[in-house]
Amino acid sequence: MVAAESIEPSPAAGAPIDEAEALRRLRQNEDQSAQYYAAWWLGRMRSQNPEAIALLCHALGQRQPRQAEAGVERNAVARNAARALGKLAQPSAISHLLLALDDPDDGLREAAARSLGELRAGEAVEPLCARLSTGPAVAGAPQPGSSRLREPCEAMLEALGEIGIVEPRVLAVIEPFVDHERPLIRSAACRALLELTGDTHWGEQLLALLQHSQLQVRRAALMDLGAAGWRPALEPIRETLAENSLKLMALRGLVENPAGPDATVLDDDTTALLAVMDDLL
């Protein structure tokens, strides 16, 4: 267990902090607001201090039942710790994040799933598939991901795509979600299948979602196409009715994560992508 430390006066509100101060804030146990910010800072700055992982894993384990009236509470700190652990690229965090997948807090399960995806944690495939497969039949039809706990299906589907283990059992878990009633979940499922199989059918399904009447859905499809790196989406992304800032983020994904039939033609494709990004700036 990480030892507690007495609280010392903190820097003025809004003042920048350094790694030593972030570690100090996370080490103490009395001010959850300070811990919350420290966990975010360590992840944002990609801290490589060995103590950061130990402290974040400890914070992740200090969960408790939600207390809506408590302001920043330990579950909020645990969620930020889970997000930070995904950014620090340390396999030693995987076992702690796997435990968080069973937490009753759906926000914490979502953060843990996303971080396990970032860490490409093959150990997470089985529990993710199990949670996505659980659920009773509703109105005579199976409802993927429905259970007595509300599952963060989008995060779990995206994690399976990022982890990248292509097996029939994994595909069989994901495929029913492409018909889910919620378009954001459909988008996440198509993204995962596109990442795992490279099948253009799933890219075309995402392009169709770029035409959705709801801006939130168009935003999600943009981000999913960028994350999958599907370069045939270049022109549809440019023409999507959404903020230029999000289009730029999606196009950056196409540059950094090339996939699909044109992935090997890097020079011309990258030049075209950068030209579109320049136009949007």
What are the φ and ψ backbone dihedral angles of 271, each rounded to 5 degrees? Answer: -60, -45
Q: Is the pLDDT of residue 136 over 90?
A: no
pLDDT at residue 62 in the model: 86
* pLDDT tens by residue, 206-264: 999 999 999 999 999 999 999 999 999 999 999 999 999 999 999 999 988 876 444 44
pLDDT at residue 257 in the model: 80
* pLDDT tens by residue, 11-24: 444 568 999 999 99
Count H helices and E strands in the chain, helices first.
15, 2
Average pLDDT (123-128) is 97
Q: Mean pLDDT in the chain?
A: 85
Going from the C-alpha of 39 to that of each of 71, 86, 204, the distances in angstroms are 17, 12, 38
pTM: 0.83
* pLDDT tens by residue, 31-40: 999 999 999 9
pLDDT-based confidence at residue 66 (cuts at 50, 70, 90):
low
CA-to-CA distance for 276 and 201, rounded, in angstroms? Answer: 25
Contacts of 271 (CB under 8 A, 6+ apart): none
pLDDT at residue 63 in the model: 77
pLDDT at residue 10 in the model: 46
Average pLDDT (196-203) is 96
Euclidean distance between the first and the last CA atom of the chain, given in angstroms as a whole number: 49
